[in-house]
């Protein structure tokens, strides 16, 4: 890579000019697949047309069609971004690389969260500069969201947003050496919906060989809808749009109308005779698979991958505290959370009451929701992966509590991200209604957590004992880092 201020890199599709700032070079908005237009929005990702000359890669590009997301009284714009930045050519990657990179650096590819309907590479949290500073080539990507990305439509391939992620991994395999990265040392990582997608990619045969390691931050290996559940959402979407539930009918609908219809699909009851709703009513979009990723991994898929997997201690708080539902929780709310998530809700509630004798009703409700959404499915994925003799699995629990919203937000969903990306100093993350709250986090927490992710990408070992079915060694990450064996064992067993 050339060393003048704005270096040019030649990819398989054409040349791109990045922006050098200090020791880091950034390339924004490089296409990895063709723009999803018309019927193409419901087809597998296609190769992008080559371009002539040098494409400017110094300004952010468009993102996937989406509506702006608000979460009550907490400012989540650093996480979700500022909504839809329009433009069809949005299946793109951003790349951060050390300015002096000359090959063979570990590569990390990040899949953002946002409930399968929001988020993008434009969000402030996903700045890859700290990774480049520490000798990693960091790639972030956009993928199709909502109806275009995940609605299961007869005649269209399922999980198109996941297929986009696989296409981005193929782009990385083909092109990342030109940016200084080692195409044979790729770590795929994601958070929330992005982490559930990473679990799905682990279990996808077409992605085999495209990456070596994976990090699943607050995802679920049990988060997919069955085709029967997904068909309910498809019928509701077709009704909302006044069309037949067929791919040719969806292909005629504008992105604006698809986004608007997606936002009206909340609250569909997806419980069937055989399955509960893995997203407990929070989103009508997820992966659609008749075999959950954890089950596919138990059967041997993805077992040659080093896996780092974890959740946050109070995941459920994000869905309750900012919308004023935490402190007002009733015994009925606790029972309802359990009933949405588990075939034997009374026993589940009894277990949580026993293991948390001091807990408020809000705390019990949040704990059950957090395990329903992330905890149980992460433990299932970790256990399935660890059970294979050839695989290596590591587990963490992120326990540092944010004092946002009068001290109540806690170690909630998404609060680990600023530490992983080493951007915890960003001013927009601080304040009484910001993700990290009014206090200064422990001085070395971001440095240490970020360094751990970098070490895992480089070596496959984050620096503690692997997770196995006997001890279930887990690193609890807080001001102090503590190794615990089988945290919350009774609660874990209650989900079997």
Q: 150 and 160 in contact (C-beta within 8 Å)?
A: yes
Q: Is there a catalytic annotation at residue 295? A: no
Catalytic residue among 306, 413, 430, 450: 413
In whole angstroms, what is the distance from residue 396 CA to residue 399 CA? 9
CB 57 within 8 A of CB 18: yes
Annotated catalytic residue 403:
no
The one-character DSSP state at 470 is T
The CA-atom distances, in angstroms, between 6 and each of 2, 18, 31, 56, 211 are: 8, 6, 19, 10, 29
CA gyration radius, the chain: 21
C-alpha 287/C-alpha 284 separation (Å) is: 10
Q: Which segments of 270-425 are extended strands (E)?
A: 306-312, 392-398
Please give the structure tokens belonging to residue 340.
């949405």
Pair 221, 292: CB distance under 8 Å: yes
CA atoms of 61 and 41, how far apart (whole Å): 18
- Kind plus residue range of the DSSP H or E element containing 229: helix 227-241
Contacts 24+ apart (CB under 8 A), 355-363: 355/488, 355/490, 355/491, 360/329, 361/329, 361/330, 361/331, 361/333, 361/334, 362/320, 362/325, 362/326, 362/327, 362/328, 362/329
Is 496 part of the annotated catalytic residue set? no
**Whole-number Å distance between alpha carbons of 484 and 467:** 11
- Which residues are CB-contacts of 12 (< 8 A; sequence separation ≥ 6)? 50, 174, 175
Contact between 139 and 95 (Cβ < 8 Å): yes
| Selected catalytic residue, list 77, 120, 123, 192 | 192
The residue from 295, 314, 315, 397 that is catalytic is: 315
DSSP 3-state of 121: coil
Maximal C-alpha separation, the chain: 66
- For 350, what's the count of Cα atoms within 13 Å in the CB-facing half-sphere? 5
What positions carry a catalytic annotation?
192, 315, 413
């Amino acid at each position: 890579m050339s060393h003048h201020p704005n270096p040019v890199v030649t990819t398989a599709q054409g040349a791109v000019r990045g922006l050098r700032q200090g020791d880091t070079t950034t390339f924004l908005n490089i296409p990895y697949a063709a723009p999803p237009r018309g019927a193409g929005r419901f087809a597998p990702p296609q190769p992008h047309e080559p371009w002539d000359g040098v494409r400017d890669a110094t300004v952010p590009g468009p993102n996937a069609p989406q509506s702006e997301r608000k979460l009550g009284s907490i400012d989540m714009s650093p996480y979700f971004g500022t909504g839809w930045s329009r433009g069809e050519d949005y299946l793109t990657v951003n790349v951060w690389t050390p300015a002096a990179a000359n090959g063979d650096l570990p590569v990390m590819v990040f899949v953002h969260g946002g409930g399968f309907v929001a988020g993008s590479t434009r969000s402030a949290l996903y700045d890859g500069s700290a990774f480049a500073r520490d000798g990693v080539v960091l790639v972030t990507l956009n993928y199709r969201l909502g109806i275009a990305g995940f609605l299961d439509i007869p005649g269209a391939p399922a999980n198109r947003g996941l297929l986009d992620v696989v296409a981005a991994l193929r782009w990385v395999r083909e092109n990342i050496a030109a940016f200084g990265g080692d195409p044979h040392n790729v770590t795929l990582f994601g958070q929330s919906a992005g982490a559930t997608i990473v679990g799905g990619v682990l279990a996808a045969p077409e992605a085999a060989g495209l990456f070596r390691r994976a990090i699943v931050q607050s995802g679920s290996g049990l988060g997919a809808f069955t085709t029967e559940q997904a068909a309910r959402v498809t019928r509701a979407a077709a009704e909302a749009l006044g069309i037949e539930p067929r791919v040719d009918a969806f292909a005629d609908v504008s992105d604006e109308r698809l986004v608007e219809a997606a936002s009206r699909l909340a609250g569909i009851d997806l419980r069937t005779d055989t399955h509960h709703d893995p997203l407990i009513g929070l989103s009508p979009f997820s992966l659609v698979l008749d075999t959950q990723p954890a089950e596919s991994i138990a059967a041997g898929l993805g077992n040659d991958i080093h896996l780092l997997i974890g959740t946050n201690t109070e995941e459920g708080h994000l869905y309750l505290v900012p919308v004023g539902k935490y402190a007002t929780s009733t015994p009925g709310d606790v029972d309802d959370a359990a009933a949405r998530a588990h075939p034997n809700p009374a026993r589940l509630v009894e277990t949580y009451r026993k293991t948390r004798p001091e807990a408020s009703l809000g705390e019990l409700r949040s704990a059950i929701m957090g395990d329903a959404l992330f905890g149980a499915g992460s433990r299932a994925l970790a256990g399935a992966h660890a059970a294979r003799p050839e695989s290596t699995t590591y587990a963490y629990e992120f326990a540092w509590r944010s004092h946002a919203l009068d001290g109540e937000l806690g170690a909630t969903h998404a609060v680990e991200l600023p530490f992983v990306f080493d951007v915890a100093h960003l001013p927009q993350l601080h304040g009484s209604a910001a993700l990290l709250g009014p206090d200064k986090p422990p001085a070395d927490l971001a440095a240490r957590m970020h360094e751990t992710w970098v070490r895992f990408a480089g070596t496959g070992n984050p620096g503690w004992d692997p997770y196995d079915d006997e001890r279930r060694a887990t690193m609890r990450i807080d001001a102090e880092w503590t190794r615990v064996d089988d945290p919350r064992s009774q609660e874990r067993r209650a989900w079997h």
